[in-house]
Amino acid sequence: MTSFLRPGQQSASAFGLAFDVDRDAGGAGAAPVFNKNERLAISEQRRRLPIYAHRTELLYLVEGHATTVVVGETGSGKTTQVPQYLHEAGWTQGGKLVACTQPRRVAAMTVASRVAEEMGCRLGQDVGYSIRFEDVSTPGVTRVRFCTDGVLLREMMDDPLLLKYSCVMVDEAHERSLATDVLLGLLKKIQRRRPDLRVIISSSTIEAEKMARFFDTSNVRRPRAHAEGVQQGAAPSRSPALLSVEGRTHNVQVHYLEAPASDYIQAAVETAVNIHREDLPGDILIFLTGQDECEAAVKLLDEEGRRLQRSRLKLRMQAVALYAGLPAAHQLGVFEPAPRGVRKVVVATNIAETSVTLEGTVYVIDSCFAKQRCYNPLTGLESLLIAPISKASAAQRAGRAGRVRPGHCLRLCTEGDFEQKLPATTVPEMQRSDLSGTVLQLKSLGIDNIMHFEWLAPPPAEASGWLGGWLGGRAGRRGGGVVTMIRALESLHALGALDGDARLARPLGAQMADLPLDPVLARMLLAAGQMGCTAKVLTVVAMLSVQSVWAPGGRRGVDEAKARFAVAEGDLVTYLNVWRGWEESGRSKKWAIENHVMHRSMLRAADIRNQLQAHLRRQGIKQASALEGATSFDHDEELETVRKALAAGMFINAAKLTEELTVKLSDQADTGASVYRLVRSAGGSAAAVKLRIHHSSVLFRCRPQWVCFYAAEQNDSGWYEMRDVLAIESGWLTELAGHVYKMVPLNPQMRR
């Protein structure tokens, strides 16, 4: 393959690229693809999609097979068209629905909007979507429903067999998110009871055969009761069918660096600028790893764009960011076509890797990195590290180009590094995540034997020594992930969600499972109901459920704004002051801007708060008390009650200040970082963990003796940094969690 020199060394023409010529132009004719051309009728646009040529075959396979795996390349139209084909073929008759799940909420929203447009209906009528804390659909009217995997999982709490659905399509299953893997396991289980349920799985080539083998139950004997319930000859085949659909219209030429780039952000910016100087049409999509990198790149591109305005280029460069923390309206705005005479440069995280399509993209610049969460069950903490992507992800990213003309993907690594250092596939999220929420959900669905649940890929088997030997025989063939599972069960038992036999505790465990929250937040909310401070804790939980309430931008301005609301009790109580200020301003957008608060995040938090309040009301949890009317903390007793309720959910993540101090010798201005240790460490791996308060916390420059934190992530330097920190009193741990913590006399000879 053609390689190119390091960006910035020479002009773009020296890269050996011919941006206006397709390398394989003389090859086979291109497959048709959807181009959003307003001059064409929607029906004609749909007929131009590659999936249209396979419409009859697809419906035939769905009719005759319980499970169909569709291998569709980027741009094939499978996401928007398959649900419509099912609707047109009668799968939504008799009040039934067709569900199409997406791994990300932005994909569910954008795809639903497009399908509603194609079907000529208002969004929320025949076509709707449901994401966490947002439902745009009409019961009894909506026939095609797009939703995230997690939303459909929660729906099983009320409808375990998904009786109102005739067909469920799991889109982008190859991403292997935690919710996707659990959903696939449950759908396989449901099909044993409901042979009429059709499952369609959209997957990449690499995962397709694995999916088909997983759902193949042709050799499994069906229970007599179920066999008698299906008329002879009417039951669909239990052997999955596979259908492959071509994708891109044009070929995508892939290019590599000749030498590694020391700074991939700068390299990406320079490459984009060099492409822009060629003055050829086509938008640019840059893949980076996170919000900070995206915003930094956009800032650099804006500066370069201003410099290039003096040149005689026909196109002007407009840089925009796309990442998960961006407000929904801003995310949707990225998909709007660029104005005439403007080249759009989208700087995105892997949110743009699958599902969503940015029309007009011709050039993809791939950093070949992404942020990955890795959970360590031995410490109970997460790491968020920048790691190389897989070859499968790189192929998905390259597929974003070539939609409207011959495309180019420029990978910011050498070809040798790509072939040798990038793994073939991404490690499934199931094998690198905390499973507490998943286990609680499965328990609430009546699946008590978690070890024998059929996972597409079981959690990792880290168990060793006596623990691995003790559980090895009990776990059986599917007994991977012993330590991860044990850690999840221990956490849920400590929170009171499970009883001593690891069964769902009632009523507490059932109430926690019913709330659309992770177990820690659910526990603190229920504790608030018992202590009589539900209103305050509802506010905190709602604000913890949004990406961030603080506006992105200069750190100094945000820090000054935080100082106006900060209290010594920590971030969670500070959120209450922010909420009160916003409410007293009449929920003013102007107030939010002046105080560096994201108005949309506050509105979303308010909506989440109302929904959680409705959940508590349905559970019959009392919300009125002497504390409910308080608008400020005039009494220490009121504040202490709220803090205790918050600590009742976070006591597992308690840490104590040590006498250790870490100083960066190379920085004379560095006053040192205070070191915290986990209270629950009890020796072993957790005891070696060093924690410090993250710079975004209002307690960053303080030294509270005892704290609880909602989240802690390991950064590239090896530190675990605590976010959303609450200062507590040491005696609260034994008071709130006497089954976990116990006060013992300190031996003076022991190291403190």
Tell me the pLDDT tens digit for each residue of 487-496. 899 999 999 9
C-alpha to C-alpha distance for 336 and 353, rounded to whole angstroms: 18
Q: Whole-model pTM?
A: 0.81
How high does pLDDT run on average in the chain? Answer: 82
pLDDT at 664: 54
Q: What are the residues facing 655 on neighbouring strands?
A: 678, 707
C-alpha to C-alpha distance for 623 and 346, rounded to whole angstroms: 46
What kind and span of H or E run contains 148?
strand 144-148
pLDDT at 35: 42
Residue 126 has pLDDT above 50, yes or no: yes
pLDDT tens digit string along 281-324? 899 999 999 888 998 999 999 999 888 888 888 888 999 998 87
pLDDT at 512: 94
Interstrand relation of 144-148 and 97-102 (parallel, antiparallel or unpaired)? parallel
pLDDT at 668: 46
C-alpha to C-alpha distance for 492 and 436, rounded to whole angstroms: 7
User: What mean pLDDT is predicted for residues 680-686?
Assistant: 65
User: What mean pLDDT is predicted for residues 371-397?
Assistant: 86
Residue 669 has pLDDT above 90, yes or no: no
C-alpha to C-alpha distance for 7 and 274, rounded to whole angstroms: 8
pLDDT tens digit string along 455-491? 887 776 553 332 333 233 333 333 335 788 888 999 9
Cβ–Cβ < 8 Å for 619, 612: no
Helix, strand, coil shares, percent, the chain, to 5: 40, 20, 40
pLDDT tens digit string along 329-356? 677 778 888 888 899 999 999 888 876 6
User: What mean pLDDT is predicted for residues 709-738?
Assistant: 89
Query: Percentage of residues in the chain with pLDDT exceeding 70?
Result: 82
pLDDT tens digit string along 196-230? 999 999 976 667 888 889 998 887 766 554 544 44
C-alpha to C-alpha distance for 518 and 533, rounded to whole angstroms: 20
User: What mean pLDDT is predicted for residues 713-726?
Assistant: 85
pLDDT tens digit string along 247-287? 656 788 999 999 999 999 999 999 999 999 988 889 999 99
pLDDT tens digit string along 161-188? 999 999 999 998 888 888 999 999 999 9
pLDDT tens digit string along 386-445? 889 999 889 889 988 877 778 999 999 999 999 999 998 888 888 888 999 999 999 999
Helices 105-119 and 78-88: angle between axes, nearest 10 degrees: 50
What is the side-by-side strand order in the sheet with 67-72? 134-136, 127-131, 144-148, 97-102, 165-170, 198-203, 67-72, 241-245
Interstrand relation of 407-414 and 342-348 (parallel, antiparallel or unpaired)? unpaired
Instruction: Give the total residue count for the chain.
Output: 752
User: What mean pLDDT is predicted for residues 97-114?
Assistant: 91
Least confident of 150-154, 555-559, 634-638: 634-638
pLDDT at 482: 73
Q: pLDDT-based confidence at 382, cuts 50/70/90?
A: confident
C-alpha to C-alpha distance for 21 and 498, rounded to whole angstroms: 63
pLDDT at 454: 87
For the chain, domains (ranges, CATH) are: 3-24+248-421 (3.40.50.300), 42-245 (3.40.50.300), 464-647 (1.20.120.1080), 650-736 (no CATH)
